[in-house]
Amino acid sequence: MSPDPPDPVASSGPLDPGCPVAPATLDAPVAPDLSAWQRLHPASAVVRVGPVTLTAILVYLATSAGGGLAGGGRGGGDWSELVVAAGLFVVGLVTWLVTRWRLGDGVLQIETGLLRRRSLRFPLDRVQAIDVVRPGVARVLGLAELRIRMAGGAARGRLAYLTVAHAEELRGRLLAACSERRSASDEPGTPGPPPSPTETVLYTIDTARLLGSLAFSGSALFLVLCACSFVAVGFVAPGAVDGSAAVAVALVLGLGTPLWRRLNGELRLSVSDSPEGLHLRAGLLETSAETILPGRVQTLRLVQPLTWRPFGWWRVEVQVAGKGATGRRDRAARKAGRALLPVGSAAQAEWIARRVLPGAEVLASPPPRRVRWKAPLRYRRMTAGFDARYAVTTSGRLRRVTDWVPLDKVQSIRWVQGPLQRRLGLASIHLDAAGRAVHAELRDRDALEASGWLWSLPERCRAARAVGSRG
């Protein structure tokens, strides 16, 4: 298939960020390409309403088959499951019928909704990331969901569901269109390069090591501790087992779920490099494929929990604007950011960090010695600094953290001074990047230095932005 031809109807400058996009054109030109309206895969009617319907149908079949054998005829069968299943199926069918999408002139358009019709437009030059997600049921049927992430979180495009091949192919085309849009944004509609299947696998996470790292994470060790104390309680006071069993179940659910999510999301994670960006593929039951476009990383964080220190393991997380592939289910996971390297040696972590943030050579300096009075434990690990492109800060006595922020992503700069800091002549600088609670804190610097930074950093950020928009 050839890339999109220029679409005369919808070419109303979606590239100008200040200009509102054109209203959706309902009578689209009929072309044998993606610029014509498309439907999702018909089976999405079934998958979308989920396993509930399938279970209901299976239950109905089982009971009616049993009834048919025993009583002859379906009079004995329970109709309620069938009614529920049929209702859900009709809902799914209607959703499928009223949903359509097309890709034209650098804008992905999705229309959906029966009573409350919605037309969503996603300008490709502002896409933050593109993911292919395959939940369990969809995986069985060979389907996949394509998710387009924009900044701001609320606006997210879902194409659920497409066949896996179609989803992968569409993702390739979207990515190609994205990079073409970004590079030559003054020539709308030029035929871009074909979707490049050439990508080199950078690394794959070893399953044993991932399991080991999870086993040595704080919550897993705490779970083991709880199990031991539960057994101990059983020996010492058998009467109290009932009460402590409830607590144990709650603990397992509370602590085990995040562990399970991490396992599910990071198992067999493979990171590969391609012209469009870094591709991340992972998953045990629900597989996902994400693409991190170059220059869309808001912050990068290297973490080493206390329990990983004997092994020298590090974890690398990146924050991209917009919601993560895990969606809104898991607030903690969203806050933690996407693991680029769930577990790896210091050299590996350093290597991938440099790959994501090229040219990161920042000389970080420690704060003045009097910070020991304010943060006696943290003091020894605290450093901060910045150069023309990045700011970096390290902190944490037990859990070691290094945060990188590209200066061209900084949204605002804050200077904060509490009463104790004022007495000691200190101040902190916060650099805020897009997203929820995404910021780096250059903590407890000398007050003069901090105010110098406060007035010089905006200029540096502006310069970094100017370089970034040119390159």
Partner 1 sequence: MGAEREQSGADGQETWSVPSPALRRLRRAQLLSVTSPLVVASISSGLATGAATAGVVAAGSVVATAAVTSVLLGRRRRAWGFAERADDLVVRRGVMFRRVSVIPYGRMQYVDVTAGPFERLFGLATVKMHTAAAASDARIPGLPAADAAALRDRLSRLGASAMAGL
Token pair of 57 as six digits: 């149908």
The phi, psi pair for 299, rounded to 5°, reads -145, 155
Binding flags for partner 1, 398-417, as an x/- string (CB under 8 A): -----------x-xxxxxxx
Q: Which is nearer to partner 1, 76 or 468 (CB)?
A: 468
Q: Which of 200, 175, 171 is nearest to 125 (CA)?
A: 175
Q: Which of 392, 398, 363 is nearest to 380 (CA)?
A: 398
Using the contact rule CB under 8 A, the part of the chain among 56-64, 88-96, 272-280, 437-445 near partner 1 is 437-445
Applying CB under 8 A, among 24, 151, 221, 226 the residue interacting with partner 1 is 151
Is residue 17 near partner 1 by the rule CB under 8 A?
yes
Q: Which is nearer to partner 1, 45 or 434 (CB)?
A: 434
CB 464 within 8 A of CB 404: no
Q: How far apart are CA 145 and CA 96, in angstroms?
A: 14
CB 146 within 8 A of CB 163: no
As a whole number of Å, the end-to-end CA separation of the chain is: 31
Using the contact rule CB under 8 A, the part of the chain among 63-71, 242-250, 354-362, 462-470 near partner 1 is 462-470
Token pair of 423 as six digits: 């007495």
Q: Which of 212, 6, 202, 27 is nearest to 106 (CA)?
A: 6
144: left (phi over 0), alpha (psi -120 to 50) or beta: beta
Q: Which is nearer to partner 1, 17 or 32 (CB)?
A: 17
Q: Which is nearer to partner 1, 202 or 454 (CB)?
A: 454
Q: Which is nearer to partner 1, 380 or 414 (CB)?
A: 414
CB 349 within 8 A of CB 316: yes
Applying CB under 8 A, among 392, 438, 445, 460 the residue interacting with partner 1 is 438
Give the count of residues interacting with partner 1 (CB under 8 A).
Answer: 38
Q: Which of 42, 7, 41 is nearest to 24 (CA)?
A: 7
Applying CB under 8 A, among 147, 173, 296, 301 the residue interacting with partner 1 is 296
User: Which segments of 178-252 are extended strands (E)?
Assistant: 200-204
Is residue 358 near partner 1 by the rule CB under 8 A?
no
Q: Which is nearer to partner 1, 151 or 202 (CB)?
A: 151
Counting every residue written for the chain, the total comes to 471
Smallest gap, in angstroms, from Cβ of residue 414 to partner 1? Answer: 5
Smallest gap, in angstroms, from Cβ of residue 52 to partner 1? Answer: 35
Q: Which is nearer to partner 1, 126 or 156 (CB)?
A: 126
Smallest gap, in angstroms, from Cβ of residue 444 to partner 1? Answer: 14
Token pair of 283 as six digits: 């998953």
Smallest gap, in angstroms, from Cβ of residue 101 to partner 1? Answer: 24
Interacting residues toward partner 1 by CB under 8 A: 17-18, 126, 128, 151-152, 296, 298, 321, 409, 411-419, 422, 430, 432-439, 451, 454-455, 457-458, 461-462, 465, 469
